Amino acid sequence: MSGNPTVFPKDPVWPGEGSSRIPFWAYTRDDLYKQELERFFYSGHWCYVGLEAEIPNPGDFRRTVIGERSVIMVRDTNGAINVVENVCAHRGMRFCRERHGNRKDFFCPYHQWNYSLEGNLQGVPFRRGVKQDGKINGGMPPEFKLEEHGLTKLKVATRGGVVFASFDHDVEPLEEFLGPTILQYFDRVFNGRKLKVLGYRRQRIPGNWKLMQENIKDPYHPGLLHTWFSTFGLWRADNKSQLRMDEHFRHAAMISTRGQGGKNDEVVSGVDSFKDQMKVNDPRLLDIVPEPWWNGPTAVMTTVFPSVIIQQQVNSVSTRHIQPNGHGSFDFVWTHFGFEDDSEEMTQRRLIQANLFGPAGFVSADDGEVIEWSQEGFEQNPAHRTVVEMGGYDIADSEHMVTETLIRGMYAYWRKVMGQ
Amino acid sequence: MKMTIDFQTYFELLNLYSDYAMAVDSAEWEKWPDFFVEDGTYRLQPRENFEQGLPLCLLALESRAMIKDRVYGVKETMYHDPYYQRHIVGTPRVISVEGGRDADTIHSEANYLVVRTKYDGESTVFNSGHYRDVIVRTPDGLRLKSRLCIYDTEMIPNSIIYPI
Ligand code: FES
Ligand SMILES: [Fe+2]
């Protein structure tokens, strides 16, 4: 044996008691990843599926994903929203291939089994057999019951126009799942106004899905990584801010009020991304108009564990849906929206500020990049660990953003649920 | 209405397409805004939004000034993995012209494919789509009044930094 530490440890154990040092193997192991799907995405949690505004009329549906499981969000003839798994009850194929549309019922092309918009099996071709030469050939066994062979139905909850679903019918009510503190920030955006979908952006990020949750629980980086945030004071260490969590530390809200920007040596000296002389040529990129519903803060970033991020960055609002595919990759789907009472001017403003976000955004493109590079670092030496100790070791709400406490909180919860 | 332009004009149009591709592939980002008139617009939009009539773009740069802001972002503010890109642009198809055979305004479109190569990486298809352009004659030659890039690529491979 040499003194060289192992790079690929067998049966590794979490180093120490707390959650301030996260082993790289938490991001690289397939077995843990499958367990995460089971324990976070497929049970005990509400996952984001979409917005009611995406399916306004009876029969409207949209195909989406929970974890790796394809599901369909559909409005039935009574106006209720159902979510069913996109797997045929016959021989298991993913039958719905369109991404959205309007239908009276669903059917699987393979053997044409037919389902209602509630997911009930309505018809099976040749169920009673086929008559030929005076006798009946084939057919399903007499004890076969349609009622026993519907699509997998998920439990559905909607609030403020947002649709959540869970494969776990024993999951606690959505409001309890979010907890009173996070619910307040959720309701701040989704306060009952009708939403107006502006469009989608999709990217595939080669990194573990938890890195995206971490990124939005990490108020330490925005004023450093993102020039636009540091230079224009949109988000940086001298902004008035709060960090809030639910009682399990799984969800969080980062709340910030824009400062003056410019040169405050305390927070920008030596910061590579800070550009003292930078001005935008077209001021519309930063044409920020405060809205009454903000109630003060200019940005609130809410992470709902495990599946969605709710973004309000000045006039740009979106949901960002995390759709993992393997331990080292996830799809990240942005749905930008506005509100029904937006003026045409406000809609344009939201669309122009959207240039800061998304897979090509002045700000957000950086986040995808650093997540990819983090994953590369983890893969090359799973035995190593991160150091998440800005602001100490504890997990607590905070009145400033010079801390990684929210990430420590998330991993305390992760350890508990994963038994690691 | 049958649209014709003279060959000289079509030749200028071909040059505009190939010069644009050359500029954005050779990392000479400062040249990019010069292909547009001052109130020219550049939009990069997922096909799904375009087809559903949803206005959101990946990038919506509403003036040459804003396109310059993007250049500054690419050069100075966005941390990213450096990469090479290579545009393969199809022959432009003229849809309509205004102002006679030497055309004041041309509506045209062309398919494009962008191949990305990262350091230590293979070359992969990065973005696939088509341009829908409005091109106007200026004293300096043909310029873009608007360029709309509608891309098929469902999943952006992480991020798009450089101009398409
Ligand atoms: S697999 Fe769907 S009907 Fe046979
Ligand atoms: Fe960020």
Every domain of chain A with CATH number 2.102.10.10 lies at 47-156
A155-163 mean pLDDT: 98
Residue A234 to residue A256: CA distance in whole angstroms: 8
Lookup result for tokens 């082993």: A23
Q: Is A87 in the pocket of ligand 1 (CB under 6 A)?
A: no
Among the partner residues B56, B70, B158, nearest to A206 by beta-carbon distance: B158
Please enumerate, as own/partner, the contacts of A157-160 that have beta carbons within 8 Å and a separation of 24 or more: A157/A46, A158/A52, A158/A81, A159/A186, A159/A187, A159/A190, A160/A186, A160/A187, A160/A189, A160/A190, A160/A191, A160/A192
Q: Which of B42, B78, B116 to mutate to test the interface with A (most CBs of A within 10 A)?
A: B78
pLDDT of residue A3: 65
User: How many angstroms away from the CA of B72 is the closest CA of chain A?
Assistant: 9
ipTM here: 0.96
B150 at interface of A, judged by CB pairs closer than 8 A = no
State pLDDT tens for residues A232-251: 878 888 889 999 999 999 99
pLDDT of residue A1: 47
Q: Is A91 in the pocket of ligand 1 (CB under 6 A)?
A: yes
Among the partner residues B54, B58, B66, nearest to A198 by beta-carbon distance: B54
The answer to whether the Cβ–Cβ distance between B158 and A285 falls below 8 Å is no
Question: Is-contact B156 B58, C-beta < 8 A?
Answer: yes
Q: Is A88 in the pocket of ligand 1 (CB under 6 A)?
A: yes
- Domain ranges for chain B, please list them: 7-151
pTM listed for this prediction = 0.96
Atom of ligand 1 nearest to the CA of A91: 1
Residue A268 binned pLDDT confidence (cut-offs 50, 70, 90): confident
Q: Ligand 2 (ion): which residues have CB within 5 A?
A: A 367
Q: Choose one of A70, A97, A111 to mutate for the ligand 1 pocket test, by most ligand atoms within 8 angstroms of C-beta.
A: A111
A189-195 mean pLDDT: 96
CA-proximal residue: ligand 1, atom 4 (nearest): A111
State pLDDT tens for residues A382-405: 999 999 999 999 999 999 999 999
Please list the residues that pair with A163 across neighbouring strands: A50, A158
User: CA-CA distances (angstroms) from residue A99 to A95, A153, A244?
Assistant: 11, 19, 36
Sorted by sequence, the CB contacts under 8 Å of residue A156 that are 6+ apart come out as A81, A82, A83, A163, A164, A165
State pLDDT tens for residues A79-124: 999 999 999 999 999 999 999 999 999 999 999 999 999 999 999 9
Please list the residues that pair with A311 across neighbouring strands: A301, A318
Largest Cα separation within chain A, whole Å, is: 94
Question: Is-contact A335 A321, C-beta < 8 A?
Answer: yes
The answer to whether the Cβ–Cβ distance between A368 and B155 falls below 8 Å is no
A54 alpha carbon to ligand 2 midpoint, in Å?
A: 27
Residue A267 binned pLDDT confidence (cut-offs 50, 70, 90): confident
The answer to whether the Cβ–Cβ distance between B63 and A282 falls below 8 Å is yes
Every domain of chain A with CATH number 3.90.380.10 lies at 179-418
Atom of ligand 1 nearest to the CA of A113: 3
Give the residue among B69, B80, B74, B79 at the shortest CA–CA distance from A224: B79
pLDDT of residue B4: 78
Q: Which of B57, B76, B127 to mutate to test the interface with A (most CBs of A within 10 A)?
A: B57
Beta strands in B4-140 (DSSP E): 36-46, 59-61, 83-89, 93-98, 105-118, 123-138
> In this structure, which CATH number among 3.40.630.190, 3.40.640.10, 3.40.630.30, 3.10.450.50 belongs to the domain B7-151?
3.10.450.50
Tens place of pLDDT per residue across chain B (164 aa) = 456 789 999 999 999 999 999 999 999 999 999 999 999 999 999 999 999 999 999 999 999 999 999 999 999 999 999 999 999 999 999 999 988 767 799 999 999 999 999 999 999 999 999 999 999 999 999 999 999 999 999 999 999 999 99
User: How many angstroms away from the CA of A366 is the closest CA of chain B?
Assistant: 6
State pLDDT tens for residues A332-364: 999 999 999 999 999 999 999 999 999 999 999
Say which DSSP state A398 is in.
Answer: B
Among the partner residues A280, A362, A369, nearest to B158 by beta-carbon distance: A369
A387 alpha carbon to ligand 2 midpoint, in Å?
A: 18
Residue B42 to residue A200: CA distance in whole angstroms: 18
The answer to whether the Cβ–Cβ distance between A351 and B156 falls below 8 Å is no
> Could you give phi then psi for residue A128, rounded to 5 degrees?
-95, 15
Q: Higher-confidence residue: A18 or A232? A: A18
Residue A28 binned pLDDT confidence (cut-offs 50, 70, 90): very high
Name the fold adopted by A47-156: Rieske Iron-sulfur Protein (2.102.10)
Question: Is-contact A266 A336, C-beta < 8 A?
Answer: no
Question: Is-contact A398 A258, C-beta < 8 A?
Answer: no
pLDDT of residue B20: 98
Question: Is-contact A257 A304, C-beta < 8 A?
Answer: no
CB < 8 Å to B33, chain A = none
Residues in A lying within 8 Å of B, measured between beta carbons: 99, 197-206, 225, 227-228, 273, 275, 278, 280-282, 284-285, 331, 336, 347, 351-352, 354-355, 358-360, 362, 365-366, 368-370, 372-373
pLDDT of residue A174: 98
State pLDDT tens for residues A42-69: 999 999 999 999 999 999 999 999 999 9
| A179-418 belongs to CATH 3.90.380.10 | yes
CB < 8 Å to A284, chain B = 62-63, 66
> Could you give phi then psi for residue A312, rounded to 5 degrees?
-125, 105
Residue A403 to residue A411: CA distance in whole angstroms: 15
Residue B79 to residue A364: CA distance in whole angstroms: 10
Q: Is A90 in the pocket of ligand 1 (CB under 6 A)?
A: yes
- Check whether A331 has a pLDDT greater than 60: yes
A266-288 mean pLDDT: 87
Residue A255 to residue A227: CA distance in whole angstroms: 19
- Check whether A2 has a pLDDT greater than 70: no
Q: For chain A, give the mean pLDDT.
A: 95
User: How many angstroms away from the CA of A255 is the closest CA of chain B?
Assistant: 24
